[in-house]
Copies of this chain bind each other. A is one copy, B any other.
Protein backbone atom coordinates (compact mmCIF):
# COMPACT_ATOMS: atom_id res chain seq x y z
CA UNK A 1 0.00 0.00 0.00
CA UNK A 2 2.14 2.83 -1.33
CA UNK A 3 1.12 6.42 -0.55
CA UNK A 4 3.19 8.94 -2.43
CA UNK A 5 2.88 12.59 -3.39
CA UNK A 6 5.34 13.38 -6.18
CA UNK A 7 5.56 17.09 -7.03
CA UNK A 8 7.23 18.70 -10.02
CA UNK A 9 8.58 21.59 -7.95
CA UNK A 10 8.38 23.31 -4.58
CA UNK A 11 7.90 26.94 -5.50
CA UNK A 12 6.33 28.87 -8.38
CA UNK A 13 8.24 32.00 -9.45
CA UNK A 14 7.19 35.07 -7.47
CA UNK A 15 5.79 33.10 -4.50
CA UNK A 16 7.16 32.14 -1.07
CA UNK A 17 8.93 28.78 -0.67
CA UNK A 18 6.56 25.81 -1.02
CA UNK A 19 3.31 27.78 -1.28
CA UNK A 20 1.35 26.03 -4.03
CA UNK A 21 1.75 22.46 -2.64
CA UNK A 22 0.48 23.23 0.89
CA UNK A 23 -3.23 22.29 0.47
CA UNK A 24 -2.27 19.10 -1.40
CA UNK A 25 0.18 18.13 1.35
CA UNK A 26 -2.39 18.78 4.09
CA UNK A 27 -4.98 16.73 2.22
CA UNK A 28 -2.45 13.91 1.70
CA UNK A 29 -1.04 13.75 5.24
CA UNK A 30 -4.24 14.52 7.16
CA UNK A 31 -4.82 16.33 10.43
CA UNK A 32 -2.81 14.18 12.87
CA UNK A 33 0.45 15.69 14.16
CA UNK A 34 2.76 13.30 12.26
CA UNK A 35 6.49 12.99 12.95
CA UNK A 36 8.14 13.51 9.56
CA UNK A 37 11.71 12.76 8.57
CA UNK A 38 13.24 15.23 6.10
CA UNK A 39 15.82 14.07 3.59
CA UNK A 40 17.96 17.15 2.67
CA UNK A 41 20.70 15.37 0.69
CA UNK A 42 19.83 16.90 -2.69
CA UNK A 43 21.09 20.27 -1.39
CA UNK A 44 24.53 21.18 -2.76
CA UNK A 45 25.04 24.93 -2.64
CA UNK A 46 22.43 25.40 0.12
CA UNK A 47 23.44 24.03 3.55
CA UNK A 48 21.51 21.12 5.06
CA UNK A 49 20.82 23.30 8.11
CA UNK A 50 19.45 26.10 5.95
CA UNK A 51 17.31 23.67 3.96
CA UNK A 52 15.94 22.04 7.12
CA UNK A 53 14.97 25.44 8.49
CA UNK A 54 12.95 26.35 5.39
CA UNK A 55 11.17 23.00 5.27
CA UNK A 56 10.55 22.91 9.01
CA UNK A 57 8.87 26.30 8.94
CA UNK A 58 6.42 25.17 6.26
CA UNK A 59 5.60 21.73 7.62
CA UNK A 60 5.30 22.89 11.24
CA UNK A 61 2.88 25.59 10.08
CA UNK A 62 0.88 22.75 8.50
CA UNK A 63 0.84 20.90 11.83
CA UNK A 64 3.65 18.33 11.52
CA UNK A 65 6.96 17.71 13.29
CA UNK A 66 10.10 17.65 11.14
CA UNK A 67 13.41 15.98 11.91
CA UNK A 68 16.18 16.25 9.31
CA UNK A 69 18.17 13.09 8.57
CA UNK A 70 21.49 14.98 8.40
CA UNK A 71 21.35 15.50 12.19
CA UNK A 72 20.70 11.85 12.97
CA UNK A 73 23.45 9.27 13.54
CA UNK A 74 21.10 6.29 13.20
CA UNK A 75 19.40 7.24 9.95
CA UNK A 76 17.87 3.81 9.37
CA UNK A 77 16.42 3.87 12.88
CA UNK A 78 14.98 7.34 12.34
CA UNK A 79 13.28 6.17 9.15
CA UNK A 80 11.86 3.09 10.89
CA UNK A 81 10.37 5.25 13.64
CA UNK A 82 8.83 8.05 11.55
CA UNK A 83 5.24 8.67 10.38
CA UNK A 84 6.18 10.13 7.00
CA UNK A 85 9.11 10.95 4.70
CA UNK A 86 9.78 14.23 2.91
CA UNK A 87 12.51 14.48 0.26
CA UNK A 88 13.50 17.91 -0.97
CA UNK A 89 14.69 18.99 -4.41
CA UNK A 90 18.19 19.99 -5.44
CA UNK A 91 20.63 17.79 -7.36
CA UNK A 92 19.24 14.30 -8.02
CA UNK A 93 22.69 12.70 -8.44
CA UNK A 94 23.88 14.08 -5.09
CA UNK A 95 20.65 12.89 -3.46
CA UNK A 96 20.92 9.33 -4.77
CA UNK A 97 24.66 9.22 -4.04
CA UNK A 98 23.97 9.83 -0.35
CA UNK A 99 20.97 7.47 -0.29
CA UNK A 100 23.36 4.68 -1.36
CA UNK A 101 26.24 5.92 0.78
CA UNK A 102 24.08 5.82 3.92
CA UNK A 103 22.41 2.54 2.93
CA UNK A 104 18.93 4.06 2.86
CA UNK A 105 17.41 2.74 -0.38
CA UNK A 106 16.09 -0.57 0.94
CA UNK A 107 14.99 0.83 4.35
CA UNK A 108 13.07 3.58 2.50
CA UNK A 109 11.42 1.11 0.10
CA UNK A 110 10.41 -1.17 2.97
CA UNK A 111 9.05 1.64 5.12
CA UNK A 112 7.05 3.15 2.25
CA UNK A 113 5.75 -0.28 1.13
CA UNK A 114 4.34 -0.66 4.66
CA UNK A 115 2.16 2.42 4.08
CA UNK A 116 4.23 5.32 5.43
CA UNK A 117 3.49 8.36 3.25
CA UNK A 118 6.26 9.74 1.02
CA UNK A 119 6.41 13.31 -0.29
CA UNK A 120 9.07 14.39 -2.77
CA UNK A 121 9.52 17.38 -5.04
CA UNK A 122 11.81 17.80 -8.04
CA UNK A 123 14.84 15.56 -7.20
CA UNK A 124 12.65 14.01 -4.51
CA UNK A 125 10.06 13.10 -7.18
CA UNK A 126 12.82 11.64 -9.37
CA UNK A 127 13.83 9.51 -6.38
CA UNK A 128 10.32 8.04 -6.33
CA UNK A 129 10.73 6.67 -9.89
CA UNK A 130 12.27 3.35 -10.98
CA UNK A 131 15.47 5.22 -11.93
CA UNK A 132 16.73 8.81 -11.91
CA UNK A 133 17.27 8.66 -15.67
CA UNK A 134 14.74 11.41 -16.44
CA UNK A 135 16.21 14.04 -14.14
CA UNK A 136 17.16 17.42 -15.61
CA UNK A 137 20.15 17.73 -13.29
CA UNK A 138 23.86 17.74 -14.01
CA UNK A 139 25.57 14.44 -13.05
CA UNK A 140 27.95 16.09 -10.56
CA UNK A 141 28.63 12.78 -8.81
CA UNK A 142 28.30 9.13 -9.82
CA UNK A 143 25.86 7.28 -7.52
CA UNK A 144 26.40 3.54 -6.92
CA UNK A 145 23.47 2.97 -9.29
CA UNK A 146 20.79 5.03 -11.05
CA UNK A 147 18.09 2.73 -9.61
CA UNK A 148 15.74 4.54 -7.24
CA UNK A 149 12.66 3.83 -5.08
CA UNK A 150 10.19 2.55 -7.73
CA UNK A 151 7.15 3.95 -5.93
CA UNK A 152 5.56 4.11 -9.38
CA UNK A 153 6.42 1.91 -12.39
CA UNK A 154 7.11 4.81 -14.79
CA UNK A 155 9.35 7.88 -14.93
CA UNK A 156 8.63 11.51 -14.07
CA UNK A 157 10.37 14.45 -15.71
CA UNK A 158 9.95 17.32 -13.22
CA UNK A 159 9.96 21.02 -14.24
CA UNK A 160 8.64 19.87 -17.61
CA UNK A 161 8.25 22.54 -20.29
CA UNK A 162 8.28 22.89 -24.05
CA UNK A 163 10.25 26.12 -24.33
CA UNK A 164 13.29 26.72 -26.51
CA UNK A 165 15.90 29.46 -26.36
CA UNK A 166 16.03 31.40 -29.62
CA UNK A 167 19.36 31.14 -31.46
CA UNK A 168 20.59 28.38 -29.15
CA UNK A 169 21.12 24.72 -30.14
CA UNK A 170 21.22 21.69 -27.87
CA UNK A 171 18.29 19.35 -27.29
CA UNK A 172 14.86 20.55 -26.17
CA UNK A 173 13.17 18.74 -23.27
CA UNK A 174 10.94 16.91 -25.77
CA UNK A 175 14.00 15.69 -27.69
CA UNK A 176 15.64 14.53 -24.45
CA UNK A 177 12.57 12.53 -23.44
CA UNK A 178 12.27 11.09 -26.95
CA UNK A 179 15.89 9.93 -26.59
CA UNK A 180 14.99 8.34 -23.25
CA UNK A 181 12.05 6.34 -24.61
CA UNK A 182 14.00 5.40 -27.76
CA UNK A 183 16.74 3.94 -25.54
CA UNK A 184 14.28 2.52 -22.98
CA UNK A 185 11.22 1.60 -25.06
CA UNK A 186 9.44 -0.25 -22.24
CA UNK A 187 9.53 2.77 -19.93
CA UNK A 188 6.83 5.49 -19.93
CA UNK A 189 7.53 9.09 -18.85
CA UNK A 190 5.19 11.75 -17.45
CA UNK A 191 6.49 15.25 -18.18
CA UNK A 192 5.17 17.08 -15.11
CA UNK A 193 5.08 20.89 -15.41
CA UNK A 194 5.69 23.10 -12.41
CA UNK A 195 2.58 23.41 -10.25
CA UNK A 196 1.46 19.80 -10.86
CA UNK A 197 1.82 16.57 -8.88
CA UNK A 198 1.04 12.88 -9.03
CA UNK A 199 -0.65 11.24 -6.06
CA UNK A 200 -0.51 7.49 -5.56
CA UNK A 201 -2.85 6.01 -2.94
CA UNK A 202 -2.45 2.26 -3.14
CA UNK A 203 -3.80 1.16 -6.51
CA UNK A 204 -5.08 4.56 -7.59
CA UNK A 205 -3.07 7.30 -9.22
CA UNK A 206 -4.29 10.82 -9.86
CA UNK A 207 -2.82 14.01 -11.25
CA UNK A 208 -3.50 17.32 -9.55
CA UNK A 209 -2.34 20.88 -9.74
CA UNK A 210 -2.82 24.49 -10.54
CA UNK A 211 -5.27 25.57 -13.23
CA UNK A 212 -4.24 25.71 -16.87
CA UNK A 213 -1.35 23.29 -16.65
CA UNK A 214 -1.02 20.19 -18.81
CA UNK A 215 1.32 17.27 -18.22
CA UNK A 216 2.50 15.10 -21.11
CA UNK A 217 2.74 11.33 -21.34
CA UNK A 218 5.57 9.91 -23.44
CA UNK A 219 5.19 6.28 -24.58
CA UNK A 220 7.47 4.75 -27.18
CA UNK A 221 5.69 4.38 -30.51
CA UNK A 222 2.70 6.56 -29.48
CA UNK A 223 1.75 10.19 -29.86
CA UNK A 224 2.54 12.38 -26.85
CA UNK A 225 -0.65 12.64 -24.78
CA UNK A 226 -1.88 15.58 -22.64
CA UNK A 227 -2.78 14.83 -18.99
CA UNK A 228 -5.05 17.20 -17.06
CA UNK A 229 -5.59 17.85 -13.36
CA UNK A 230 -8.29 15.60 -11.97
CA UNK A 231 -7.69 12.72 -14.41
CA UNK A 232 -7.57 9.19 -13.08
CA UNK A 233 -4.22 7.73 -14.16
CA UNK A 234 -4.49 4.45 -12.26
CA UNK A 235 -3.90 2.55 -15.52
CA UNK A 236 -0.29 3.79 -15.43
CA UNK A 237 0.29 1.65 -12.33
CA UNK A 238 -0.10 -1.49 -14.46
CA UNK A 239 3.00 -0.81 -16.51
Q: A145 near B: Cβ within 8 Å?
A: yes
Chain-B contact segment, one of A26-34, A102-110, A161-169? A161-169
Contact of A140 among B9, B94, B136, B183 (CB under 8 A): B183
Question: What is the copy number of this chain in the assembly?
Answer: 2
Name the B residues within 8 Å of A165 (CB-CB).
161, 163, 165
- Asked if residues A179 and B133 are in contact (CB atoms below 8 Å), the reply is no
- Asked if residues B168 and A163 are in contact (CB atoms below 8 Å), the reply is yes
- Asked if residues A161 and B171 are in contact (CB atoms below 8 Å), the reply is no
In whole Å, how far is A222's beta carbon from the nearest beta carbon of chain B? 15
Number of interface residues of A (CB under 8 A): 43
- In chain B, what residue has the closest Cβ to A171? B137
Q: A170 near B: Cβ within 8 Å?
A: yes
Q: How far is it, in angstroms, between the C-alpha of A171 and the C-alpha of B43 when the chains are bound?
A: 12
Q: How far is it, in angstroms, between the C-alpha of A13 and the C-alpha of B178 when the chains are bound?
A: 21
- Asked if residues A179 and B91 are in contact (CB atoms below 8 Å), the reply is yes
**Residues of chain A having any CB pair with chain B under 8 Å:** 9, 11-13, 44-45, 91, 94, 122, 131-142, 145-146, 158-159, 161, 163, 165, 167-171, 175-180, 182-184, 194
Contact of A170 among B9, B139, B177 (CB under 8 A): B9
- Asked if residues B176 and A168 are in contact (CB atoms below 8 Å), the reply is no
Name the B residues within 8 Å of A145 (CB-CB).
142
- Asked if residues A159 and B163 are in contact (CB atoms below 8 Å), the reply is no
- In chain B, what residue has the closest Cβ to A184? B140
Name the B residues within 8 Å of A132 (CB-CB).
139
- Asked if residues B139 and A139 are in contact (CB atoms below 8 Å), the reply is yes
Name the B residues within 8 Å of A180 (CB-CB).
138, 140
Contact of A179 among B11, B45, B134, B184 (CB under 8 A): B45
